[in-house]
């Protein structure tokens, strides 16, 4: 028998502790705001301020709660500090030197919006159609134990906003942030959208390890000759084998080739082209600067690293579906950015909980709450998100009692009594 009251208490305490950790250096009103937004997203599962406000179950009118949240959302300027604190927690779950950081561009489609600030044309990742919306650059690191994605960078941007430079510029800012937090510890994994000299230059200059999928029109230097990469790939039919299980449990027999190459723009930099057959007529071509003495070991490692990219796709999908993120109803770009920050960190909270508490009784009971007709889904964030919501909606009070109370310091009290004493003596 599940004790929902006890689980709700544990959850609220856990959410509060998490919020306090990521809010180090912030004043109490901002800590309160962050805590309430995370709690409201977890219970309401919508990026609607009305739903978040309703989840808080405050004694004041719903309208006043919404107005306060809206004001704080627009005025919040401590996103960098919160993200830095949050990444410090993420690092505790990254112990492997070969941990994978997945970087990708996505979109927030807003086809029906008219008044939202700085809307621009974007390609809807779900439909492939060109619609109004925003672009995003995001990164996630896979945990060392369960290979689950923990988001570590997010930015909503628009070609229509004031001061916009380029998508490449925004992507480079992401890479710089990852360098500041992780140095060259992890392997950066990127798709064909990052097959550009600017990114190769960045990684080579900063001595960071990468795996990037190449486009078919890319030229490389092979056997001291400049050749098209696909022509080079077609000369090899695969020396090594790997069985890969897709999300639908279908087994794919991959054939993999190892080819030493270099780029025309960086001829002195020794690189390796890993060619993977099995995912269509055109082979998958992966360029890397990873260096291992065994060709087979390197070939298999690079292939596995890149095939982990589906994790970030699941993360994107989860964030959009779990919180109905594309139905966000704030008008300013700043508010949208702050909402995206909070939604990202909320997903991170679920991921950290999954990684850190997988063996405790509390987490096992949480999983028990999540069981549905088709049992626990492979991407466990859905199950945990569902369980958290299912528990919190049953409570009659919000999280207010778990937010640290404002207290008066001893210094203040002494000062107050000193003034009273002076006032008393002056009467004589």
Examine residue 301 and state whether it is found in any structural domain, yes or no: yes
Last residue of a domain, one of 249, 283, 313: 313
CA distance 289 to 212: 10
Which tens digits make up the pLDDT trace of 314-344?
898 899 989 989 999 999 999 999 999 999 9
Using 50, 70 and 90 to split pLDDT, how confident is the model at 422?
very low
387-404: burial string, b at 16+ Cβ within 10 Å, e else: bbbbbbeebeebbeebbe
75 in the same domain as 120: no
Q: Would you call 110 helix, strand, or coil by DSSP?
A: coil
Mean of per-residue pLDDT scores for the chain: 90
Among 313, 342, 358, the domain-final residue is 313
Q: Do 52 and 114 have their domain in common?
A: no
Specify the pLDDT at position 368: 75
* 102 and 231 both lie in a single domain: yes
Residues 159 and 263 both lie in one domain: yes
Percent of the chain predicted with pLDDT > 70: 91
Give a yes or no: residue 109 inside a domain. yes
Q: Is residue 319 part of a domain?
A: no
pLDDT in tens, 138-178: 999 998 877 889 999 999 999 999 999 999 999 999 999 99
Task: Please report whether residue 426 resides in a domain.
Answer: no
Asked if 286 and 211 touch (Cβ cutoff 8 Å), the reply is yes
Within this chain, do residues 170 and 276 fall inside the same structural domain, yes or no?
Answer: yes
> Mean pLDDT across the stretch 361-376?
64
Domain of 292, CATH number, reads: 3.90.350.10
d(CA 41, CA 69): 13
Q: Give how many domains the chain has, as a whole number.
A: 2
Are 342 and 362 contained in the same domain? yes
- Predicted confidence at residue 409, as pLDDT, reads 46
- DSSP SS3 for 288: strand
Asked if residue 253 and residue 118 are part of one domain, the reply reads yes
- Say if 325 falls within a structural domain: no
| 68 in the same domain as 207 | no
Mean pLDDT of the region 246-259: 86
Same domain, 147 and 248: yes
Judgement on whether residues 66 and 109 belong to the same structural domain of the protein: no
Share of the chain above pLDDT 90, in %: 71
CA–CA–CA angle 20, 24, 335 (5° rounding): 85
Does 375 have pLDDT greater than 60? Answer: no
Domain edge (last residue) among 313, 341, 356:
313
Task: Indicate whether 426 pLDDT > 70.
Answer: no
DSSP single-letter state for residue 94:
-
Judge if 356 and 260 occupy the same domain. no
- String of DSSP letters for 1-57: ---HHHHHHHHHHHHHHHHHHHTTT--HHHHHHHHHHHHHHHHH-SS-HHHHHHHH-
Pairwise CA distance, residues 137 & 135, whole Å: 7
For residue 268, is pLDDT > 90? yes
In a domain, 69, yes or no: yes
What three-state secondary structure class fits 118? coil
Tell me whether residue 415 is in a domain: no
- Which residue, among 412, 309, 243, 400, has the nearest Cα to 100 in the 3D structure? 309
Point out the least confidently predicted range of 76-85, 203-212, 374-383.
Answer: 374-383
Domain that holds residue 196: 86-313
pLDDT at 249: 73
Closest to 133 in 3D by CA, of 154, 151, 107 = 107
Please return the burial class of 150, using the count of CB atoms within 10 Å of its CB with bins 0-12, 13-18 and 19+: buried
Q: Per-residue pLDDT tens for 23-64?
A: 999 999 999 999 999 999 999 999 999 999 999 999 999 999
Q: In this structure, are 259 and 195 located in the same domain?
A: yes
């Amino acid at each position: 028998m599940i004790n929902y009251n006890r689980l709700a208490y544990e959850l609220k305490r856990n959410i509060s502790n998490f919020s306090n950790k990521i809010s180090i250096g912030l004043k109490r009103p901002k800590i309160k705001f962050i805590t309430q937004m995370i709690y409201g997203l977890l219970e309401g599962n919508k990026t609607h301020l009305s739903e978040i406000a309703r989840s808080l179950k405050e004694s004041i009118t719903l309208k006043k709660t919404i107005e306060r949240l809206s004001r704080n959302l627009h005025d919040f300027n401590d996103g960098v500090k919160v993200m830095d604190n949050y990444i410090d927690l993420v690092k505790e779950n990254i112990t492997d030197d070969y941990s994978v950081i997945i970087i990708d561009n996505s979109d927030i489609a807003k086809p029906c919006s008219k008044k939202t600030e700085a809307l621009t044309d974007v390609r809807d990742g779900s439909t492939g159609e060109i619609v109004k919306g925003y672009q995003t650059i995001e990164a996630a690191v896979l945990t060392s134990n369960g290979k689950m994605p923990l988001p570590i960078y997010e930015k909503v941007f628009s070609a229509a906003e004031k001061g916009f430079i380029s998508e490449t510029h925004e992507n480079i800012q992401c890479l710089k942030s990852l360098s500041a937090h992780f140095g060259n510890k992890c392997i950066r994994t990127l798709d064909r959208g990052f097959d550009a000299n600017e990114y190769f230059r960045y990684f080579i200059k900063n001595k960071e390890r990468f795996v990037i999928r190449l486009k078919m029109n890319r030229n490389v230097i092979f056997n001291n000759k400049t050749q098209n990469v696909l022509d080079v790939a077609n000369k090899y039919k695969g020396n090594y084998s790997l069985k890969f299980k897709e999300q639908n449990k279908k087994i794919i027999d991959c054939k993999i080739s190892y080819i030493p190459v270099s780029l025309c723009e960086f001829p002195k930099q020794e690189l390796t082209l890993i060619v993977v057959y099995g995912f269509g007529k055109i082979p998958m071509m992966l360029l890397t600067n990873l260096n291992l003495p065994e060709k087979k070991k390197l070939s298999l490692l690079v292939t596995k690293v890149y095939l982990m990219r589906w994790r970030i796709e699941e993360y994107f999908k989860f964030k959009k579906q779990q919180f109905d993120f594309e139905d966000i109803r704030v008008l300013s770009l700043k508010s949208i950015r702050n909402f995206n920050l909070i939604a990202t960190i909320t997903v991170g909270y679920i991921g950290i909980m999954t990684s850190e508490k997988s063996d405790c009784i509390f987490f096992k009971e949480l999983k028990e709450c999540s069981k549905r007709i088709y049992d626990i889904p492979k991407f466990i964030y859905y199950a945990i998100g569902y369980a958290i919501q299912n528990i919190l909606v049953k409570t009659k009070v919000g999280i207010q009692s778990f937010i640290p109370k404002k207290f008066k310091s001893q210094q203040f009290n002494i000062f107050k009594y000193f003034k009273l004493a002076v006032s008393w003596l002056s009467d004589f």
